[in-house]
Amino acid sequence: MSSTVDSADGGVADVPEYPMTRAAGCPFDPPPELREKQHQAPLARVRLWDGSTPWLVTRHAEQRKLLADPRVSADPTNPGYPSPAPVSSAERASGSPLSFILMDDPEHARLRRMVTGPFSVKRVEALRPKVQRIVDEAIEAMLAGPNPVDLVESFALPVPSLVICELLGVPYSDHDFFQRNSRVIVNRNSSQEDRSAATGRLTEYLDGLVGDKLVDRGEDLLSDLAERVEAGELPRDEAARMGVLLLIAGHETTANMIALGTLALLEHPDQLEALRETDDPELVSSAVEELLRYLHITHNGRRRVALDDIDIAGETIRAGEGLIVANDIGNRDPEVFDEPDSLDIRRGNRRHMAFGFGVHQCLGQPLARLELQVVYGTLYRRVPTLRLAVDPEEIPFKHDGSVYGVYELPVTW
């Protein structure tokens, strides 16, 4: 659907609604309307649920410029911020579960530094043997169970949940609780009341764990946060919100990439065979980067608002105007990626923006990369006959989620 808005020259311009709908039968591709907008111009207006008309940024170069521009804010409390859904007064009062990622510098940088250490490339790489053990054990458990099986529940969800629980110091025995509430928070069709209630439950849960760590420290990230709380460097409620963010982001995104990436490879058997037959870690790493680019599971766009007038690509973004940086179509920009709609694990182009760009780029990207390298480099070699147990048309996709993926992936071998 589309509506109209007055254009700069006093005329009337057609403005499509956002988010847009993927084409039937093309589950891996961004909506065709996004490609059309990208072809026409790097910036265009779209209309949101509340009638506002922020700028949609569709081309790679302009996306990187704006995400790195200090005149662009990630703070949703700023007027003009293009909120993806209504926000209740209770949600505003209780604070966002996304914590510091929706703040601007210098406060964003101050809080981010408190949790950067465990996600450094060096410290994450030291986790590789542990992640390999988790993946190996999950595969063994899956093979010992029923066949066919849902890969999401038996493998894609448990693996990153176990990893992030170990890193944070969260009991994995509580995974049903935090996965259930996480699903409510990331479902864009959840009501304000349900989302606020789920956020409250998770925040209370993490607050309790921080309290436990104040009494009994461990070798984990929540213990590090508790130490900062005790030193007066961090309020306890902020430590709990940071814990919620890390817990949700640490399992939801990677779980969806594992399942959706497996489906994409099963639908591209030549690419799957090349990955299954290789023992070259560089090719496995290249496959991870290509699947991140090709699938780009964060499909609601990165939301920002201009703090000052910005001239870019022949347009002037006025202070107070919203921005939606559609990285899913930016990762298909033909100016940056040859044959962008093809899946090619040998592409070797790491300029995708699956993890964002600039100061707000994903804190946990080294861990996500490591987990995906271990999964993609192990699963298909250990289960070489892995295949779908249903027709592709029967697979339910997460069109209603802020993180794209599949609800179920029935497989057999």
| 8 Å CB contact between 175 and 189 | no
Structure-derived torsion over alpha carbons of residues 20, 23, 25, 29, reported in degrees to the nearest 10: -70
| Residue 325 DSSP SS3 | strand
What the chain holds in terms of domains, given with CATH numbers, is: 32-405 (1.10.630.10)
**pLDDT at res. 25:** 87
| 8 Å CB contact between 114 and 241 | no
Greater confidence (320 vs 11) lies with: 320
State how far the Cα of 351 lies from the Cα of 194, in Å rounded to an integer: 37
Q: Tell me how far CA of residue 134 lies from CA of 48, 142, 159, in angstroms.
A: 42, 12, 7
| Start-end of H helices in 267-364 | 269-277, 281-295, 327-330
Contacts of 133 (CB under 8 A, 6+ apart): none
State how far the Cα of 264 lies from the Cα of 395, in Å rounded to an integer: 12
| 8 Å CB contact between 60 and 351 | yes
Average pLDDT, the chain: 92
pTM of the model: 0.92
Mean pLDDT of 54-60: 98
Q: How confident is the model at residue 11 (pLDDT cuts 50, 70, 90)?
A: very low
Lowest mean pLDDT among 19-33, 65-79, 210-224: 19-33
Convert the pLDDT of each residue in 86-106 to its tens digit: 765 555 555 555 578 999 999
**pLDDT at res. 4:** 44
Residue 219 neighbours by CB distance under 10 Å: 8
Convert the pLDDT of each residue in 167-195 to its tens digit: 999 999 999 999 999 999 888 788 888 98
Residue 3, pLDDT > 60, answer: no
Lowest mean pLDDT among 8-12, 193-197, 260-264, 303-307: 8-12
Mean pLDDT of 51-58: 98
Compute the half-sphere exposure of residue 147: CA atoms within 13 Å on the CB side of its CA.
12
- Could you tell me what percent of the chain has a pLDDT over 70? 94
Q: How confident is the model at residue 1 (pLDDT cuts 50, 70, 90)?
A: very low
Nearest partner of 48 among 93, 16, 6, judged by Cα: 16
Residue 376, pLDDT > 80, answer: yes
Q: How confident is the model at residue 293 (pLDDT cuts 50, 70, 90)?
A: very high
CA 79 from chain center: how many Å?
25
Convert the pLDDT of each residue in 228-268 to its tens digit: 999 999 999 999 999 999 999 889 999 999 999 999 999 99
In what helix (H) or strand (E) does residue 388 lie, and over which residues does it extend? strand 387-388
In this structure, which amino acid lies at residue 234?
A: L
